[in-house]
Amino acid sequence: MIRGGGLAFMEDYTPRMDKFIESQTPPPHGDNMPEQTVSELANALKKTVEDAYAFVRVRGELGRVVFAKSGHLYFDVKDAGATLNTVMWKGNAGRLPFKPEEGLEVVAEGRLSTYPGRSNYQLIADRMRPAGLGALMQLLEQRKIKLAAEGLFAAERKKPLPYLPAVIGVVTSPTGAVIRDILHRVSDRFPVHVLIWPALVQGEKAAAEVEAGIRGFNALKLGGAIPRPDVIIVARGGGSIEDLWPFNEERVVRAVADSEIPLISAVGHETDTTLIDLASDVRAPTPTAAAEMALPVRAELIAAVASLGGRMAKCLTRQTDRARLELKSAAGRMPRLDVLLQGPRQRLDTASQRFGGSLSRMVARKRARFDQVGGGLRPMALRREIGSKRAEVWRLAGRLQPALGRRMKRLRDALREQTRVLDSVSYQRVLARGFALVTRGDGGLVRSAGAVAENDALKLRFADGEVGVTAGGGSGGPKPPAPLATAASTDAQRPRIRRRTTGGDQGSLF
């Protein structure tokens, strides 16, 4: 076997190699030995090497590393005195738990062979691993220093998390326990829309898929067919440093740093630390803790709002009582109504007496003025005045029409904007996100499960219509979630539903 820091061969292979050398020793001059072609000699050498070194394990430093388009991996394993050409076929290269990089010390296992096209020998590697934890930690520390120097871990780059996100994006494996823990915690705290970007979280392809998930969520358009997340969670369970290595890859760290959406890293257990923990906006010790960081507790919010509402009502009551007392006190200091009206009544009587003579004199003056002006009027002058006024009217009418058109356009635009605002606050928008409005047969709103008795007739209003149902669960308050059931038991326990679709006027959620 090949062992140690170089390419030292164990002694049990020495007799076979000696036998091979003797078989290739040229015969004495003059012996009648048949000639061989170059290919025949190369094939014989290839068979001898492969038989003698069917399995070897070699330790050394990675030199040249080349990923071919075919998926095969070509690299050199070297030490201070020798270099061994190595190839790893696509199937084995895709299962590597880390990314081979030049300068990393590794242990490779496989078989020796020859490549006749270049007359050299090579190692066909089946497996490869880092030479030790120290090598990975050294590589991790070097990468950490490099990315920190670029400012990717700087505190000023970190973005605050939204207080109440409407949509949460999760990059993780869709089949693991991590996503179930996150969904369960979201449902308990504050049910919101969760988008899952499926990605491998271990192996050679994991880094590329995690990067694609982060950049894919950021590429979604606001208001598009797929809602853009308000916060992203990158999650994975615990594991060894080799298992978590994709989250130390430079491409993943740069995708986290470039994310415009606030990002929470939840990789591994509390004691595990990866480079994306340093680049993310917030680091959570576990995936469950990440869901808790992303959302407040709905019950606590309801209690806080109720408490504030009670305090506001008490404050309004105190202000109203104080204003009533002040009004009563001010009314007691005011004089009586008849005393206030004595002076104005006297002034009115005096003015009425003077008004009769003044009105007669004013009418006389106006009539004399009218006679004076009317005497000077002529039909021709009147027609010219009327024509002049008519032209002025038409001119003003011509200016009024465009102004009126502009005014109508502004009013129409304002109406359209108000319509959009009204539509945005409509409860039907809430129903379109997957909620339902529960009412009784008389239209009363049902706010809790405890208010529903068995066989009560209820109506469920969705975004696209209304469905009548009959309660079959009894009364007595909210009940814990039922355990998972089989398809047969689910069909047997399905409530009776009377479907009725209505045109639906715009109601109210309150």
Report pTM: 0.45
Kind of pairing between the strands at 73-78 and 83-88: antiparallel
Domain with 447, as residue range(s), is 430-500
Instruction: Give 61-73 pLDDT, tens digit per residue.
Output: 888 889 888 889 9
SS3 169: strand
* C-alpha to C-alpha distance for 254 and 33, rounded to whole angstroms: 66
Residue 501 pLDDT grade (very low, low, confident, very high; cuts 50, 70, 90): very low
Residue 96 near residue 202, CB atoms below 8 Å: no
Whether the predicted pLDDT of 2 surpasses 50: no
508 found inside a domain: no
Per-residue confidence (pLDDT) for residue 315, from 0 to 100: 94
Neighbours of 94 (CB within 10 A): 13
52 found inside a domain: yes
Instruction: Give 240-299 pLDDT, tens digit per residue.
Output: 777 888 999 999 999 999 999 999 999 988 777 899 999 999 999 999 999 999 999 888
Considering 131, 149, 184, which residue would you say is the last residue of a domain? Answer: 131
184 found inside a domain: yes
Weakest-pLDDT range from 19-23, 57-61, 167-171, 296-300: 19-23
Per-residue confidence (pLDDT) for residue 176, from 0 to 100: 85
30 found inside a domain: no
Same domain, 13 and 108: yes
Per-residue confidence (pLDDT) for residue 481, from 0 to 100: 47
Residue 103 near residue 140, CB atoms below 8 Å: no
Residue 490 pLDDT grade (very low, low, confident, very high; cuts 50, 70, 90): very low
Query: Exposed, middle or buried by CB within 10 Å (0-12, 13-18, 19+), for 178?
Result: buried
Q: Which helix (H) or strand (E) holds 105?
A: strand 105-115
Query: Exposed, middle or buried by CB within 10 Å (0-12, 13-18, 19+), for 3?
Result: middle
Same domain, 118 and 168: no
Same domain, 88 and 170: no
Whether the predicted pLDDT of 17 surpasses 80: no
Same domain, 123 and 170: no
Q: Which of 78-82, 227-231, 429-433, 483-487 has the highest mean pLDDT?
A: 227-231
Same domain, 106 and 225: no
Instruction: Give 203-236 pLDDT, tens digit per residue.
Output: 888 999 999 999 999 999 998 899 999 999 999 9
136 found inside a domain: no
Cα dist from 12 to 53, 112, 484, whole Å: 11, 16, 62
Strand 263-267's sheet: what is its strand order? 193-198, 167-172, 231-236, 263-267, 282-283
Considering 242, 264, 299, which residue would you say is the last residue of a domain? Answer: 299
Same domain, 122 and 176: no
Weakest-pLDDT range from 60-69, 87-96, 243-252, 377-386: 377-386
Considering 131, 156, 190, which residue would you say is the last residue of a domain? Answer: 131
CATH number of domain containing 106: 2.40.50.140
- Number of domains forming the structure of the chain: 3
Same domain, 212 and 123: no
* C-alpha to C-alpha distance for 459 and 491, rounded to whole angstroms: 21
Same domain, 97 and 192: no
* C-alpha to C-alpha distance for 219 and 141, rounded to whole angstroms: 31
Same domain, 267 and 198: yes
